[in-house]
């Protein structure tokens, strides 16, 4: 059964709320990107302005691996709860302040510079959210349901994305363009502040994980410096990064590229695009815990290999349908694509946490996840737009996703078989 126990439900709600905030902001930024290009850059050229806005979006992810190391070490040294609580506070502040920024017409080029700086300040604490959620849920699970518990990591992302889509749907349907360019875009970022405050309230009730409490009691916490950790655990860091790249790149493609650039190619208006994306998000949200439960019973290696191979096959067909403007087959293939992608995402937290021992788990997961999600995933919109502009073909992004899927397959084959053992 997929039902969570009362204690597990409280833990899942508390720890995933930061993920809701993070992905609410990501999707809001994506859907607002044409407006942001106009008010922060003063540019009406959709392609050039979007590339710069997405470059600001992606450049902030360069800071995420460093943030992953910072919050990872904090989590390993002072506790998962304290690092978790600090990250959501520091994430809420710059997200709210983005809604208070002056525009290009008011202060010129200083406006996009401030937007960039706030994205950097936002990226550092956000880098501790997903890795912290993974470690927290993994350490609260028992040996027989670790995959099921860690699969809930991605659910917070999906809920945050869904809320952003619903807000955008109503804002677009019931307000004017002039309102969106004056106050509407600000309201979206201010809404993030309210979500963050609720997350802070929920996390106050969290307890430290049993594993960390026991290690602290017996003075078994790690005291290695970051350079020693990087030297010792370089192989699992590289494997985890390669494995998770396909998940990061594809979700950022769905979040940032498709809603803003392919709508005209597929003949969808904004509302139709929003409803389609919301349907995809809901499907993935339902699938994640189901696949996590299946993962506790069946061979994870085969599940992940078959999922990546299916992604490669679907990409070939998606490339073909986009090339010949076959809209309906493209949409059907895109929805089917979510099934293998959800399988990888559902097992991501478990694989990451298994790759690293307790003493350096938060640090290892924090760095690996943010290299995969931040660098490989975060620059996906810029790469997709640049490939489209260079080739003149909107489906050129398929080559980038294909490369990340191949990397994931190689990583899965190199990860030790013992990691995939199922406990009866």
Q: What is the pLDDT of residues 42-64, one digit of tens each?
A: 865 566 777 788 788 777 788 88
| Residue spans per domain, the chain | 6-420
User: What was the pLDDT predicted at 196?
Assistant: 85
Whole-prediction pTM: 0.87
Q: What is the pLDDT of residues 220-251, one digit of tens each?
A: 777 777 888 889 999 999 999 999 999 989 88
Alpha helices in 42-103 (DSSP H): 46-59, 64-77, 80-98
* Main-chain phi, psi angles of 23, to 5 degrees: -85, -20
Residue percentage of the chain with pLDDT more than 90: 33
Topology at the third CATH level for domain 6-420: Growth Hormone; Chain: A; (1.20.1250)
Q: 211: closest CA among 68, 347, 354, 359?
A: 359
List the beta strands (DSSP E) in 279-353.
Answer: none
User: What was the pLDDT predicted at 269?
Assistant: 66
Over 80: is that where the pLDDT of 102 sits? yes
Q: 355: closest CA among 242, 232, 238, 236?
A: 236
Rounded Cα distance between 319 and 316, Å, is 5
Rounded Cα distance between 304 and 348, Å, is 10
Output the CA angle 189-16-381, nearest 5 degrees: 55
Burial class (CB in 10 A: 0-12, 13-18, 19+), 34: middle
CA distances from 282 to 339, 343, 399 (A): 12, 15, 26
Rounded Cα distance between 171 and 165, Å, is 10
């Amino acid at each position: 059964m997929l039902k969570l126990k009362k204690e597990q439900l409280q833990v899942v709600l508390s720890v995933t709320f930061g993920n809701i905030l993070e992905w609410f902001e990501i999707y809001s930024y994506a859907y607002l990107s044409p407006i942001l290009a106009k008010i922060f850059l003063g540019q009406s050229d959709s392609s050039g302005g979007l590339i710069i806005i997405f470059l600001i979006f992606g450049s902030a992810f360069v800071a995420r691996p460093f943030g992953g190391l910072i919050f990872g070490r904090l989590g390993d040294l002072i506790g998962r709860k304290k690092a978790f609580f600090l990250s959501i506070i520091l994430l809420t502040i710059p997200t709210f302040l983005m809604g208070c920024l002056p525009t290009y017409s008011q202060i010129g080029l200083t406006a996009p510079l401030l937007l960039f700086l706030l994205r950097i300040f936002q990226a550092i604490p956000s880098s501790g959210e997903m890795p912290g959620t993974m470690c927290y849920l993994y350490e609260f699970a028992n040996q027989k349901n670790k995959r099921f518990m860690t699969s809930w990591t991605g659910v917070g992302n999906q809920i945050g994305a869904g809320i952003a889509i619903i807000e955008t749907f109503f804002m677009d349907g019931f307000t004017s363009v002039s309102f969106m360019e004056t106050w509407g875009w600000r309201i979206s970022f201010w809404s993030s502040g309210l979500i963050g405050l609720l997350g802070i309230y929920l996390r106050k009730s969290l307890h430290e994980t049993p594993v960390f409490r026991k290690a602290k009691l017996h003075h078994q916490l790690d005291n290695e410096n970051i350079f020693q950790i990087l030297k010792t655990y370089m192989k699992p860091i590289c494997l985890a990064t390669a494995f998770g790249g396909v998940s990061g790149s594809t979700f950022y493609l769905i979040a940032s590229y498709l809603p803003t650039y392919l709508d005209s190619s597929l003949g969808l208006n904004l509302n139709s695009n929003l409803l389609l994306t919301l349907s995809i998000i809901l499907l993935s949200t339902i699938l994640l815990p189901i696949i996590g439960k299946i993962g506790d019973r069946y061979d994870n290696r085969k599940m992940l290999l078959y999922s990546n191979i299916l992604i490669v096959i679907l990409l070939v067909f998606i490339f073909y349908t986009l090339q010949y403007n076959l809209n309906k087959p493209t949409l059907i293939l895109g929805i089917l694509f979510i099934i293998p992608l959800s399988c990888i995402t559902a097992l991501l937290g478990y694989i990451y946490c298994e790759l690293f021992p307790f003493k350096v788990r938060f640090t290892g997961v924090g760095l690996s996840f943010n290299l995969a999600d931040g660098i490989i995933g975060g620059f996906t919109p810029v790469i997709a737009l640049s490939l489209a502009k260079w080739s003149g073909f909107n489906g050129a992004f398929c080559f980038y996703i294909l490369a990340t899927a191949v990397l994931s397959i190689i990583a899965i084959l190199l990860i030790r078989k013992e990691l995939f053992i199922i406990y009866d």
